[in-house]
A and B are shown apart, each in its own frame.
Chain A
């Protein structure tokens, strides 16, 4: 199948046949195997954070940020899991990367992994959409092993999914990681996709204040017993050593769509609005025009999110019911409203209401 034909189907939210998915994955692996762990790109570019299978919100991103390839995109990872359309989302991004390799860049997130996708929905979704015997999940997770880890924009802005690692002091140390593997629990590769910044307000500390202030600047072991959080000192040192000015990362939900740490040295970009269809949060994409000119384009959930399999009959019945209810305009034909976007429409509200089960729990 022609790549453009694939894209056309994918943009409409349709699935591609398994053989095509396999071929796309194979082609992209061929392309990615030649890439370094750290890719260098330049502005202008739009940085996108976690998407998590929210296909309609990805469409919204292309809508507000500009279509590919007119806009350059850097995706920071976590394309799959949790949302209902992980398969559609990742395959579209794969096809776009193949079609416009210099315009689209895909980093690896912690969800681009075999182990995580088995617990958080992508595995189940692949089986549901392609059947129990399909290998789609295998093709895609094998492809994930080839995704690059970091990206540097204009030699100045460091972009990664999670954060820094005590095993990484220089960019060269990232370049020598053997990335063609499942994400391990331990080591630099794990930290890059997992770790979080931790900003501790110094007045909030209370006991052991001195000790705390000291250690909170450094890498700290999470109380879970594995993984790190990193403080301001770590960031400053890393930026200084590598002659960079800022870090952009994703990985953590924020209500406003982005979150600034350490006076702007680290910024989280989050691009999944109304995360898991229940958080009610905003999302954003970061539009970088040059290293010092940037704009957070904040947006909310795309209204189509709950309307993928729109039932036309239902809509007609309901608008008739409304027309009958307001008997004064019964002679007029029911006003044809844009069912796709009218959030007041019966179909829209009722669908989401009926998806909320009323159960006789005990």
Chain B
């Protein structure tokens, strides 16, 4: 390491280099979660390898593609992308196992220019949800066969229907009725500013719940690589529920809307990569208070050794009141809390449809 005396003559001051290095090292190190961080700092002190390596595979076969993330090949910790994701480093965590490359990107919500572009060009006719993380994505790529599966907000929102979804908020009928009554009363003495009859009909229809049956965006150079459907099969749950070491983990929201405080509509995608396989869960969760709950899950599992991709698509939907009643039996304190939890809803709402597909590369 450079000594602390300032250099004479032109060039970068060693202090600056030192400071920059320090900042980088700290940023990287800080991304290791707390428990791991203390282990990691021990390692920094003593150059000898840590003793708790028995569980780990002897020769790690994965490669971490981003220098900004913890070097997991040597330290055994997982890649957790930077929580801040903005300053000053570009955060595009990525890793490679065999011919599979997994990368994610997390960015802030769209700014007003981007929003305008989406509204006027990319997603014409849709009133956009409140928060769109339009520059974030999760991408799974088979570099050998040029096949990609990506999850992003734009493609998800393209599947939102531009027609009436038939769902209304709980107090809609009352609201409409009272408007109609008032109109009937006032028709004899019209005042300016009044909403006329026609405008009580909803003029601009789109699916305001933002329900999307998005299963990811596929791109393939070779037309042979298509999913084949076979609903009889199942994801390898036994293997997936094993506590294999997680090498890479990310969790992000693609879009979210609070439905003017009538519930929530949210699309979330998370991924965990283990040594032998990965699991991705793309979940759409909708709660319209006092009306209904809906969960649409797309799970993708890749077996790296078999070069096999499995995709399961599942729709669950339940009536708000019956699900709430179901919950009241088990808890009583904050009964609505469970209805905010998409996991609970996914387990308790009836399954409406399910599809299963596989794709084999050889």
Q: Which of A's residues lie within 8 Å of B, judged by CB? A: 110-111, 116, 118-120, 124, 127, 132, 166, 169, 185-186, 194, 198, 201, 203-204, 206, 211-212, 215-216, 218-227, 234, 237, 252-256, 259, 275, 278-281, 317-318, 321-322, 324-329, 343-346, 348-350, 352-362
Contacts and interface: CB of A to CB of B under 8 A. Distances in A.
Contacts of B176: 225-226
A181 to B, nearest CB: 16
Given A169-B192, A325-B44, A362-B279, A194 B260 contact: yes
Nearest to A238: B193
B174 A185 contact: yes
Contact of B108 (A201, A280, A327): A280
Contacts of A259: 112
Nearest to A253: B130
A166 B195 contact: yes
B107 A280 contact: yes
B348 interface: no
A343 B18 CA distance: 18
A166 to B, nearest CB: 5
B201 interface: yes
B112 A255 contact: yes
B224 interface: no
Given A223-B205, A344-B27, A362-B279, A119 B289 contact: yes
Given A253-B131, A322-B25, A358-B249, A350 B80 contact: no
Interface in B145-184: 164, 168-169, 171-176, 178-179
Given A223-B204, A358-B33, A255 B108 contact: yes
A326 B1 contact: yes
A314 to B, nearest CB: 8
A281 B110 CA distance: 9
B29 interface: yes
A222 B107 contact: no
Given A358-B78, A362-B240, A362-B279, A166 B25 contact: no
Contacts of A324: 41, 44-45
Interface string B1-22: 1111000000000000010011
Most buried by B among A185, A222, A329, A358: A358
Contacts of A357: 251
B281 interface: yes
Per CB-CB distance, the 5 closest pairs between chain A and chain B, nearest first, are A280-B108, A225-B172, A349-B30, A225-B168, A321-B41
B261 A224 contact: no
Nearest to B80: A353
Contacts of A254: 112
Contacts of A354: 33-34
B191 to A, nearest CB: 7
Contacts of B33: 350, 353-354, 358
Contacts of B334: 124, 127
B32 interface: yes
Interface in B195-231: 195, 198-206, 208
A318 B41 contact: yes
Nearest to B337: A124
B80 A356 contact: yes
Contact of A201 (B1, B2, B120): B120
A156 B346 CA distance: 52
Contacts of A362: 237, 240-241, 279
Contacts of A227: 175, 260
B169 A328 contact: no
Given A220-B204, A322-B29, 8 more contacts: A119-B289, A124-B337, A216-B203, A223-B127, A254-B112, A255-B110, A349-B31, A361-B279
B44 A224 contact: no
A65 B243 CA distance: 51
B4 A220 contact: no
A121 B103 CA distance: 34
B130 A252 contact: yes
B164 to A, nearest CB: 7
B100 to A, nearest CB: 20
A204 B23 contact: no
Interface stretch (B48-56, B82-90, B302-310, B351-359): B82-90
Contacts of A322: 22, 25-26, 29
A322 B22 CA distance: 8
B111 interface: yes
Given A124-B334, A220-B204, A326-B22, A353 B112 contact: no
A111 B176 CA distance: 23
B261 A116 contact: yes
B55 to A, nearest CB: 15
Contact of B124 (A194, A206, A212, A275): A206
A48 to B, nearest CB: 20
A256 B111 contact: yes
B270 interface: yes
B63 interface: no
Given A252-B130, A329-B4, A224 B26 contact: no
